Amino acid sequence: ARIFNAALALNTKPAVLTKNVDSVMFCLSKGLSAPVGSILAGSEEFIQIARKYRKMIGGGMRQAGILAAAGIIALEKMVERLEEDHKNARILGEGLADIGEIEVDLDTVQTNMVYFDLQKSGMDTFQFLPKLAEHNILGTPRPPTKVRLVTHYGISENDIYITIEAIKSIIKNL
């Protein structure tokens, strides 16, 4: 669903971003909150070939209507709410930027991802992430001293403030 995040951040439509490509595939889970599924789009000829190869390797499902319904909801309802994820990421980025021992380039907080650097704190990624996990907050390492946090449907604005306070606490207790 990165294409939808990018389109939202650029205030355009996914079709504009993909107009010069032959095919595009995007996931309906993760950011769009469907339980499973992806969509592959391309020319009729390309899709016929893709279906042939999918069948050859045993791909496909029967009675997938319930899952397809969730995919339709993802496309019709969840794309709009990605803006909330972007807003929460901005709040998170700004809150982390206020912590002196953390560096955040706020120009890079354009969608639902926040990258920050712990170098000034003296901690590396692998020292920090277990402490963060003790607060039930998960981050992705970008060694040696960078971390990525991602906002999504399951993260509320209140969760963002809790995360900022947890990180302040970790830094304070070094």
Q: What is the pLDDT of residues 36-64, one digit of tens each?
A: 999 999 999 999 999 999 999 998 888 88
Average pLDDT over residues 16-41: 94
Band of pLDDT at residue 79, cut at 50, 70 and 90? very high
CATH topology of domain 81-172: Aspartate Aminotransferase, domain 1 (3.90.1150)
Distant-in-sequence, close-in-space partners of 39: CB < 8 Å, separation ≥ 6: 25, 26, 28, 71
Q: Identify the CA nearest to 145 among candidates 101, 95, 112.
A: 101
pLDDT over 80 at 30, yes or no: yes
State residue 10's pLDDT score: 97
Q: Which pLDDT score is estimated for 63? A: 87
Distance of CA 32 to the CA centre of its chain: 10
- Whether the pLDDT of residue 1 is over 80: the answer is no
Domain limits, the chain: 2-79, 81-172
H helix intervals, the chain: 2-9, 14-17, 44-56, 65-73, 79-97, 125-133, 157-172
| DSSP conformation class of 28 | S
